Structure 1
């Protein structure tokens, strides 16, 4: 789920004393989530690529207007502790 939900889950997991037993992965790579990954509290977060998504939107709009169909693959980037 998104990073805000993942960060909330981490707080609950920490309160239960289970952070060393449960891995949490978020989605969006917000600053707090990246900090949690760097601190070793969150296993990973997925960084989207808004610039590429914008480019793809224009290409796919043209594709739809010329063919009537579209297919949209989206590459993602996993952010983990290095």
Structure 2
């Protein structure tokens, strides 16, 4: 198990290790765009063609998607998350029951 702590430089280092240990790898899903962008640097340096998807739709990641370096990134919807948080906070204060799971749609940027 290796972690990159949501850091681009660590993402590069971890991806270098993965490429050595798992040469058959053909896709990467990173838990944030910074790690995905670091992984892309390692993949490019190794001369490999590996599909990479990040998470957060940061400006750098969207540019990488537009440039064809990253397959996609996933955008959260913070306004919707905040709105649902307030709505459910009010429900909790009023004594209403709350769902154990409250989904928020994500948007794929590709």
| TM-score between the two structures when normalised by the length of structure 2 | 0.66
Q: CA RMSD in A?
A: 1.2
1:52 equivalent to 2:83? Answer no
1:33 equivalent to 2:61? Answer yes
Give 1:68 shift: 4.3
Unaligned runs of 5+ in 1: none
| TM-score between the two structures when normalised by the length of structure 1 | 0.87
Give 1:62 shift: 2.0
Give 1:61 shift: 1.1
Give 1:72 shift: 1.2
Q: Secondary structure at the match of 1:46?
A: strand
Unaligned runs of 5+ in 2: 1-30
Residues in 2 aligned to 1:64 and 1:26: alpha-carbon distance in whole angstroms? 34
Provide the aligned length of Structure 1 versus Structure 2.
78
Give 1:64 shift: 2.6
Native 8 Å contact 1:60 1:72 kept in 2 = no
Spell out, residue by residue over 1:10-61, the C-alpha distance to the aligned partner (whole angstroms, 9 max, x if none): 000000001x2x1000000000000000000000000111111111111111
